């Protein structure tokens, strides 16, 4: 019952006029960003973060805006998947499989409407689960000491390594690069300077925003440049847009299962919407065995599953970010960094000391999803028309926004140069098959990991045994070990 009281507090925050306006703006911009091929949620949040910071919003309002962009983009990503066969973001890749064939049959409107409802159901289901689990998880996390947090982060990185990207090795390297970037600057324990190369701008550490924008937005511009071809994309006609009750009834179990799958994968550290939707699609295909010949040719089950799952995992990835301070996906890593910039440390204490932020965000997500359903059913035509914006008009706007955003933080051109350098570096990483989310996760968690490790060893007087001192640490150590060897064993078993 206590939870309901907190939720009421949350709604009073989320329904304050300014926050309500920001939810609507965030959701609108998010849908727009998601629907434009090329810029996904992670880029949208990265580009808007410095602007939100520079405009001096209170932390809960900035977070409400940026989170709106995040889950709004998961709605928007499906539009270009269905109509153009080009996923608007990574979470919508599976949506192309059955969405585009439906559009080719002239049922684009039906596909868009059904997927909007599936997205809505996925989000709402996951949000309900968040409301149920957030107090439990944050109560548990209150018992965590430094050594537990060290293990929690190690577990997060291990999950990330074995589940994300083409090779665990490359993900590990990405995490280590991020962690090393976090060591740059003055050491809080002793006051010595580490890896600053005598550049004053690095004395208080590399700026999180510069790294995020450089690595995501600038490298994305380079990728767009590389892939640009002189072809006009053909929009498939939408057809009549309607929600049919029989479609909804046919996929109700699919949506329910996919929501659960998406939520669990979203909660797992580092694995976000793209993996959630892929796993849900695979699960549904297996469930439909014997009756699955339509999958890939325009089956509504194959459309509803990834859409419910990617929205559920986008919402689910907020849970560990808020309760434990461990982001559940690349985009929530950026949101975590945003909170840290406002001097707010997410984690169990957030729910006790600043319930208006944690519960305000959760409540705003309920409001936002209702708004998104409205935007994505009657107003779908407007977003479809926006799909035909040419990249030649879009790219100058992206570049301009990144430069304004970064410059307005410190008013120093050095940040702009550093951003371009990081963009080139990130482009090379992408070409070598590294994913960038691990780097950002490492950067965000680096300082916290080091602090906790040093604090743990201070407590024990230098005895590393403190890392195995209680039931929670040992459980987490075993979980880490399982996450490390589990996938290898699974692969070996499959081969046989």
Closest approach, Cβ 262 to other proteins, in A, equals 29
Listing DSSP states for 407-475 in one string gives: HHHH--HHHHHHHHHHHHHHHHHHHTT--SHHHHHHHHHHHHHHHHHHHHHHHHTS-GGGGG-SHHHHH
**Options 73-81, 358-366, 381-389, 391-399: segment touching other proteins (CB under 8 A):** 391-399
CA angle 83, 88, 93 (to 5 degrees): 85
Residue 81 · residue 93 · CB < 8 Å: yes
CA 368 to CA 72: how far, in whole Å? 8
Choice from 65, 163, 179, 255 touching other proteins (CB under 8 A) = 179
203 near other proteins, judged by CB under 8 A:
no
Q: 396, 468, 474, 481: which one contacts other proteins (CB under 8 A)?
A: 396
Q: Which stretch binds other proteins (CB under 8 A): 13-21, 114-122, 354-362, 400-408?
A: 400-408
- Does position 428 interact with other proteins (CB under 8 A)? The reply is yes
Is position 407 an interface residue for other proteins (rule: CB under 8 A)? yes
> C-beta of 477: minimal distance to other proteins in Å?
17
Does the footprint of other proteins cover residue 395 (CB under 8 A)? yes
Query: Of 176, 250, 374, 377, which lies in the binding site for other proteins, with binding defined by CB under 8 A?
Result: 176
**At closest approach, how far in Å is the CB of 222 from other proteins?**
6
Output 142 or 424, the one with its CB closest to other proteins: 424
3-state class of 244 per DSSP? coil
Determine which residue in the list 291, 353, 388, 458 makes contact with other proteins, applying CB under 8 A.
Answer: 458
**Which of these segments, 116-124, 304-312, 326-334, 446-454, binds other proteins (CB under 8 A)?**
446-454
Cβ atoms of 80 and 40 closer than 8 Å:
no
The site string for other proteins over 41-70 (x = CB under 8 A, - otherwise) reads ----------x--xx---------------
Write down the least CB distance from residue 329 to other proteins, Å.
23
Burial group, residue 290, by CB count within 10 angstroms (0-12, 13-18, 19+): exposed
User: Sign (positive/negative) of CA torsion 14, 18, 24, 28?
Assistant: negative
Q: How far is the CB of 350 from other proteins (least distance, A)?
A: 25
Closest to 148 (Cα-Cα) out of 486, 447, 449, 493? 449
Distances (CA, A) of 143 to 147, 325, 347, 356: 11, 14, 12, 22
- Out of 86, 370, 416, 484, point to the residue binding other proteins (CB under 8 A): 416
N-terminal to C-terminal alpha carbon distance within the chain: 51
Q: In terms of DSSP H, where are the helices of 143-218?
A: 146-163, 168-183, 208-212
Q: Does 484 bind other proteins (CB under 8 A)?
A: no
By CB under 8 A, tell whether 190 contacts other proteins.
yes
Cα-atom radius of gyration of the chain, to the nearest Å? 22
- Under the binding rule (CB under 8 A), the answer on residue 198 touching other proteins is no
Beta strands 193-194; 185-186: pairing state: antiparallel
Using the rule CB under 8 A, which residue among 453, 467, 476, 483 binds other proteins?
Answer: 453
As a whole number of angstroms, the distance between CA 475 and CA 457 comes to 20
Please select the residue that binds other proteins; options are 250, 341, 457, 472, rule is CB under 8 A: 457
Q: Does 221 bind other proteins (CB under 8 A)?
A: yes
Return the structure tokens found at 384: 């479809």
Ramachandran sector of residue 34 (left: φ over 0; alpha: ψ -120 to 50; beta: rest) = alpha
Q: Find the shortest distance in angstroms from Cβ 227 to other proteins.
A: 9
- Nearest Cα to Cα of residue 94 among 304, 329, 403: 304
Length of the chain: 496
Instruction: Count the site residues for other proteins by CB under 8 A.
Output: 62
CB atoms within 10 A of CB 86: 15
Residue 218 binds other proteins, judged by CB under 8 A = yes
Interface with other proteins by CB under 8 A: which range of 59-67, 87-95, 300-308, 421-429? Answer: 421-429
The verdict on 475 binding other proteins (CB under 8 A) reads: no
Q: Which of 139, 187, 204, 352 binds other proteins (CB under 8 A)?
A: 187
Half-sphere exposure of 161 (CA within 13 A, CB side): 23
Among 285, 391, 469, 486, binds other proteins (CB under 8 A): 391
CA distance 158 to 151: 10
Task: Pick the piece of the chain touching other proteins (CB under 8 A) from 89-97, 122-130, 177-185, 277-285.
Answer: 177-185
81/88 Cα distance (integer angstroms): 6
- Contact with other proteins (CB under 8 A): which of 18, 142, 228, 296? 228
Residues that bind other proteins (CB under 8 A): 51, 54-55, 166-167, 169-170, 172-173, 176-177, 179-180, 183, 187, 189-190, 192, 194-195, 218, 221-222, 224-226, 228, 230, 390-393, 395-397, 399-400, 403-404, 407-408, 411, 413, 416-417, 419-420, 423-424, 427-428, 431-433, 449-450, 453-454, 457-458, 461-462
């Amino acid at each position: 019952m206590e939870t309901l009281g907190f939720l009421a507090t949350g709604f009073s925050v989320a329904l304050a006029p300014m926050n309500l306006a920001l939810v609507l703006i965030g959701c609108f911009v998010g849908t727009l960003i998601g629907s434009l091929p090329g810029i996904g949620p992670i880029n949208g949040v990265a580009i808007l973060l410095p602007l939100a910071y520079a405009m001096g919003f209170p932390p809960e309002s900035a977070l409400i805006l940026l989170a709106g962009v995040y889950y709004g983009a998961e709605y928007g990503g499906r539009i270009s998947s269905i109509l153009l066969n080009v996923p608007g973001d990574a979470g919508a890749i599976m949506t192309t499989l059955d969405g585009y064939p439906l559009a080719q049959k002239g049922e684009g409107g039906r596909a868009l409407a059904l997927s909007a409802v599936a997205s809505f159901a996925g989000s709402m289901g996951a949000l309900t689960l968040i409301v149920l689990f957030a107090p439990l998880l944050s109560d548990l996390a209150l018992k965590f000491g430094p050594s537990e947090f060290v293990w929690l982060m190690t577990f997060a990185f291990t999950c990330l390594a074995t589940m994300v990207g083409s090779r665990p090795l490359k993900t590990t390297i990405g995490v280590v690069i991020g962690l090393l970037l976090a060591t740059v600057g003055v050491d809080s324990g002793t006051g010595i300077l580490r890896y600053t190369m005598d550049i004053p701008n690095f004395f208080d550490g590399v700026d999180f925003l510069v790294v995020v924008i450089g690595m995501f937005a600038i490298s994305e511009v380079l990728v767009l440049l590389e892939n640009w071809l002189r072809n006009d994309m053909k929009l498939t006609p939408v057809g009549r847009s309607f929600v049919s009750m029989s479609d909804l009834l046919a996929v109700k179990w699919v949506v329910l299962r996919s929501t659960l799958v998406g939520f669990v994968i979203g909660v797992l550290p580092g694995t976000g919407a793209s993996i959630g939707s892929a796993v849900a699609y695979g699960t549904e295909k297996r469930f439909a065995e014997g009756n699955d010949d339509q999958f890939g040719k325009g089956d509504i089950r194959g459309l509803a599953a990834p859409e419910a799952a990617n929205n559920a995992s986008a919402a689910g990835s907020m849970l560990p970010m808020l309760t434990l301070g461990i982001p559940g996906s690349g985009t929530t890593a950026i949101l975590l960094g945003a909170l840290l910039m406002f001097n707010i440390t997410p984690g169990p204490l957030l729910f006790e000391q600043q319930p208006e932020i944690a519960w305000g965000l959760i409540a705003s997500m309920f409001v936002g999803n209702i708004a998104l359903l409205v935007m994505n059913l009657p107003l779908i035509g407007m977003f479809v028309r926006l799909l035909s914006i040419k990249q030649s008009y879009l790219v100058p706007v992206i570049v301009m926004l990144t430069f304004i955003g970064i410059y307005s933080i410190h008013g120093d051109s050095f940040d702009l140069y550093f951003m371009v350098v990081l963009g080139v570096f990130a482009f090379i990483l992408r070409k070598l098959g590294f994913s960038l989310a691990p780097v950002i996760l490492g950067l965000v968690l680096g300082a916290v990991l080091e602090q906790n490790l040093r604090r743990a060893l201070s407590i024990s007087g230098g005895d590393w045994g403190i890392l195995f001192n209680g039931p929670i640490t040992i459980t987490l150590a075993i979980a880490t070990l399982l996450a490390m060897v589990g996938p290898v064993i699974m692969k070996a078993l499959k081969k046989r």
